[in-house]
Amino acid sequence: MNARFTTLPAITQTLATLSDKPRSAIPDPEFDAWLRGRAPAGRWGTPDDLVGPAVWLASDGSRYVNGQVIFIDGGMTSVV
């Protein structure tokens, strides 16, 4: 198999983004409110949101999929 595809997860809530490190986005209440209000899903992505598309891409169900970019972003690309 020589399939080519890419998944593009948006800002995803992980241990790194939940930490108190200076580069962490979630502790900023203003940015958190902006993201929740702007995203059609109304929430941050989680690692679990990536599982379904990843399993599908690894399965025979996607064997004819090639050259695609799959946005896993709660709808953010449609509003930004």
Q: Tell me what the pLDDT averaged over the chain comes to.
A: 77
Asked if residue 67 has pLDDT above 70, the reply is yes
In this structure, of 6-10, 24-28, 74-78, the range with the lowest mean pLDDT score is 24-28
Position with higher pLDDT, 5 vs 38: 38
- For 70, list phi and psi in degrees, rounded to 5: -110, 115
Residue with the larger pLDDT of the pair 28 and 50: 50
The answer to whether the CB of 9 falls within 8 A of the CB of 76 is no
- List Cβ neighbours of 3 (8 Å cut-off, separation of 6 or more): 62, 63, 65, 66
Phi and psi at residue 31, to the nearest 5°: -70, -40
Are the C-beta atoms of residues 79 and 18 closer than 8 Å to each other?
A: no
Tell me: the pLDDT tens digits for 12-48? 766 665 555 545 555 678 888 888 899 899 988 888 8
Among candidate residues 7, 18, 4, the one with its CA nearest the CA of residue 50: 7
